[in-house]
Amino acid sequence: MKHIYHIHGMTCNGCRSHVEETLSKVEGVSEATVDLEKAEATIEMESHIPIERFQEALKKDGDRYSIHKQGEQNQHSKDKKKEQPKGKGKGTFYCPMHCEGDKTYDESGDCPVCGMDLVEEQNLSTASAEQWTCPMHPEIVKVEAGSCPICGMDLVPMQPDLSAEEKTYKKLLKKFWIATAFTLPIFLIAMSEMVHNNPLYDIMKQQYWNWIQFVLSIPVVFYATWMFFERAYKSIKTWNLNMFTLIGIGAGVAWLFSVIGMLFPDAFPDQFKTESGAVHVYFEAATVILTLVLLGQLLEARAHSKTNSAVKELLKLAPNKAIKIVDGEEVEVSIDEIELNDILKVKPGDKIPVDGVITEGNTSIDESMITGEPIPVNKAVDDKVSSGTINGNQSFLMKAEKVGSDTLLSQIIHMVNDASRSRAPIQNLADKVSGYFVPVVVIISVITFIIWSIWGPEPAYVYALVNAIAVLIIACPCALGLATPMSVMVGVGKGAQNGVLIKNAEALEKMDKVDTLIVDKTGTITEGKPTVESIGTFNDGLSEKEVLQYIVSLNTNSEHPLAEATVKYGKDQNAEILKSEDFSAVTGKGVEAKIDGKKVALGNPKMMEYAKAKITSTMKEEAKTYQKKGKTVSYLAIDETVVGYVVIGDKIKETSAKAIKALQEKGIDVIMLTGDNHDTAQAVASELNLADFKASMLPEDKLKEVEKLQENGKVVAMAGDGINDAPALAKSDVGIAMGTGTDVAIESAMITLVKGDLNGIVKARNLSDSVMKNIKQNLFFALIYNTLGVPIAAGVLFPFFGILLSPMIAALAMSFSSVSVIGNALRLRTTNV
């Protein structure tokens, strides 16, 4: 028994194989095959299996894909509850230091490992359409203006909810002002002790001023900055020691010492007491430290919001509404209401609502926001258009082909978010240092206290306590932890704005080390838009028209770009299509089938060899005249005899020569590998000044070439756009897919170029260089800061220069260390790639 179902939610070959595997595991299924292009699953079963069983299997697998009967897909997508899975949309949060890799959380809060505020992921669902409500009946919510169905009042626009990061910032700002309001008088009271004949002591004794400081410190410690102590406790409990461990211990010791000293002054040696007999308290040190750390968190929250500004800019491109043609009428609808194959009208200056194809009209479209290229692109009927790009000065009609999360804009944002959360190998260094950092700092603090207590000047214990606290406060493991992820986040966003999509942070790091680049010819160096230039015959009894007829009849079954070119040419020439049987494609060689009982083959010389058809020297010479001009020649054989050929041209992209030259100037060896013949490859290589190329390469040959270069110690990047490039793309150190290519090539690659030309590789290399340089600067700043800061706080300069570091100055320095790392990462936004 065999059934065919529609599959919803697949976007790439990886999705296809995953759905296929899940359905195959359902009990009773003999075989399941999934077609990505048709979005169909063909399931063979021993006896009928209810569709609900398959739906349940896909739901248990994560509910990313759905299965339903053919013809019900539109209704299904309309009825399906619109909610994004965890980690992919609004309400998704992650740690900026990526302590648990790419793990995400459902709600805002603190990272369970490092204690830092979780950051909200930006996604298309964050940029929701404008909604309208009734001032008298708030339960009424509409996507467009109008009147209330209950009372008839005009609906008013709803105020959009603040983002999680904006809420965090406002919460921190409120706490900071409260902390400042109470800390300032404490600080003034404490500093008044430095004034001769302190006038405050004329009002009341020092012991009473200590009580006032204590009372004023309570809102600071137990409200405004209590989260630091919670995080410190959690970090010690789970033994994930971090910045808040040190702050909690340092500020907590200062505050508790002051409270105990105030309540039980007789328990302390005279060294800790002032002339009035009261124990010297450190309420001002504790509250100033905590307030300054809070200021650092506040500045960090504001800086964090800028690191993902690239995604926010992309989100602004997402339109909220579209004009849909319904029964010949124009109807304004929400983006969420657009379904596959809907006909939409795009007016001059409007953003294109979804991905699709122009069905009527022509225009020019500004695609700079997703390709980084400022020149508008001319579009006509059958040309593809992408969501978020801006229409020029002419209206056109388009058919929706990809909607919702399947659009290019949504895929870009999804890829940027995933890449931003990935970890670069260089981060392992920071992680190793951070693992030992906090325990070492605590030990140094204890040693500092002991040394000052024994050998310090009088009052030795006071010096010992103050310096031990300063050591705890100045150390900043967070600056070290943020060094890599901040640069990666900004760099990945910068790449997306320039049409360079980075799959993960590892790709950025590896791209910086690449010394050899392998490029495919068709669709990579050339435009990938082949056209038939001529048809030839080697048989007097067979006309060119008949040769074309056989070629077109064979190629109607093939999806290869060259085949599509011949079919299009045949249709233009009104060639009759003959019925073919037993069609098969031979990878890297050509195609064959039976037509009118004859065995017909079309392809390169290897295909002719496969079909046992001999190419004579005369035939080779005739073909060579075209091949030397960079043209591709495919031979046609009937019943093991070569009878004709087709000449196909594919124009070299204008950017290819300039890009290859720029890469060579950066010390990168560029090698062209192509399945085309030697003469065609040589003609292209000569035009591009490429010294190194190899022709007649099958997919396995390209793979072996990558392996051979890697064995010789080369760091290899591979750029390609076809299925035959996928093995080499996956094997290379950095796979680079042309965005104009196939899903399987893009899935195999680490970097995708939206525009699909070699100039994108130059951008990727420049971006990689800038990001790695920025990461190294951040790591240097963080390591040097901590290496110098801790000894100075311990008092190493005191014997020579009499310099000691106040815990308050240490807190100020620590607070700005993380901010400075983020600030340095933000410089990448102005990098010219």
How far apart are alpha carbons 213 and 281 in whole angstroms? 9
Half-sphere CA count of 83, side-chain side, radius 13 A: 8
Query: DSSP secondary-structure letter at 271?
Result: G
Contacts for 700-704 with beta carbons within 8 Å, 24 or more apart? 700/727, 701/673, 702/518, 702/520, 702/673, 702/727, 702/728, 703/727, 703/728, 703/731
Q: Which residues of 794-830 are buried (b: 16+ CB within 10 A; e: fewer)?
A: bbeebeeeeebbbbbbbbbbbbbbbbbbbebbbebee
The SS3 call for residue 662 is helix
Coil/strand/helix, residue 675: coil
Catalytic residue among 117, 355, 512, 520: 520
CA-to-CA dists, residue 137 to 120, 130, 152, 214, angstroms: 31, 18, 10, 50
In which order are the strands placed within the sheet that holds 363-366?
377-379, 363-366, 390-391
**φ, ψ of residue 646 in degrees (nearest 5):** -130, 135
**CA–CA distance, 369 with 346 (Å, rounded to integer):** 18
Q: β-strands 29-35, 93-94: how paired?
A: unpaired
Cis peptide upstream of residue 477 (ω within 30 degrees of 0): no
Closest Cα partner for 228 from 166, 271, 292?
Answer: 292
**Strand pairing category for 751-753 and 500-502:** antiparallel
Amino acid in the structure at residue 535: I
Active site residue 270: no
In order, the DSSP letters of 444-490 are HHHHHHHHHHHHSPSSHHHHHHHHHHHHHHH--HHHHHHHHHHHHHH
- Which residues does the annotation mark as catalytic? 520
